[in-house]
């Protein structure tokens, strides 16, 4: 689909299905969206959240804006603060998208509309002020983490099972080929389809007495 110049849409991150999946059904959900990006795109999942009592959650609505509510929740405990420092900025980057993925420039706040401001600073000092900035940050600073996570997920999908340590050779070899090709998806698919993991070499077909072949013997790495 051809987009007009300057459109905020484009790519997986802004697809309506992704925004809707990571909402609460009626509005955006920055924590869910930020967690999804860390898990699925940056290959850096945060630990599971601690249990929070409903009364404690209800008390957060006293804060006026979304940022204030999230900040209040993050400050509710030391265990929350560390994770929210990583999650919240990425989730807030998608605030221009409502629960269904439709674009909006403002959100209701009492009897008025509040203009959405997604500008934030990451822990490493990088400043993100738009979705274009976020995409550039991922491609410039996190592309290795992204490619590793993407390749690992694709290999797991291809073999139809959980990966084991033997598959690390396949994942690393495919990631290297992927990077050297300029991240060409067709090249990655070929690397996965011809890998020992996909062919069953050294995994389910390996007997208990069979040694694990080295990298040169199975042709995983050049």
- Residue 156 CA to residue 198 CA, distance in Å, equals 9
Sign of the Cα pseudo-torsion (160, 161, 166, 169, in order): positive
How far is the C-alpha of 87 from the C-alpha of 79, rounded, in Å? 13
pLDDT at res. 212: 42
Q: Residue 204 to residues 25, 166, 192, 208, 213: CA-CA distances in angstroms? A: 42, 11, 17, 10, 14
Other C-beta atoms closer than 10 Å to the C-beta of 26 total 9
As a whole number of angstroms, the distance between CA 86 and CA 38 comes to 8
CA dihedral over 107, 108, 110, 111, signed as positive or negative: positive
What pLDDT is recorded for position 72?
A: 67
In tens, the pLDDT along 88-141 reads 888 889 999 999 999 999 988 778 888 888 888 888 889 888 888 999 999 999
**Amino acid 83: pLDDT:** 76
What DSSP character marks residue 120? E
The C-alpha atoms of residue 124 and residue 203 are separated, in whole angstroms, by 40
- What pLDDT, on the 0 to 100 scale, is given for residue 26? 85
Residue spans of the domains in the chain: they are: 16-141, 143-218
pLDDT along the chain (222 residues), means of 10: 85 90 88 91 83 48 58 62 79 91 86 86 87 90 90 93 92 94 94 93 47 42 40
Query: What's the pLDDT score for residue 102?
Result: 92
User: So what's the pLDDT on residue 167?
Assistant: 93
Quick one: pLDDT at residue 97? 92
| CA distance linking residue 16 with residue 212, whole number of Å | 44
pLDDT value for 62: 47
């Amino acid at each position: 689909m051809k987009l007009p110049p300057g459109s905020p849409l484009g790519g997986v991150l802004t697809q309506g299905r992704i925004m809707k999946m990571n909402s609460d059904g009626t509005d955006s959900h920055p924590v869910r969206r930020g967690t999804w990006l860390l898990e699925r795109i940056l290959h850096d999942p945060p630990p599971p959240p601690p249990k929070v009592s409903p009364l404690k959650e209800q008390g957060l609505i006293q804060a006026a804006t979304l940022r204030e509510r999230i900040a209040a929740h993050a400050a509710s405990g030391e265990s929350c603060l560390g994770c929210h420092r990583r999650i919240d900025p990425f989730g807030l980057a998608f605030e221009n998208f409502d629960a269904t993925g439709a674009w909006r420039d403002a959100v209701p706040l009492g009897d008025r509309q509040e203009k959405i401001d997604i500008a934030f600073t990451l822990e490493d000092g990088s400043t993100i002020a738009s979705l274009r900035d976020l995409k550039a940050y991922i491609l410039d600073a996190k592309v290795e983490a992204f490619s590793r996570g993407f390749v690992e997920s694709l290999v797991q999908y291809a073999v139809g099972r959980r990966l084991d340590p033997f598959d690390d050779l396949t994942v690393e070899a495919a990631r290297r080929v992927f990077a050297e090709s300029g991240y060409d998806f067709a090249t990655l698919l070929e690397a996965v389809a011809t890998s020992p993991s996909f062919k069953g070499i050294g995994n389910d077909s390996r007997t208990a007495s069979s040694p694990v072949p080295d990298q040169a013997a199975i042709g995983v790495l050049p």
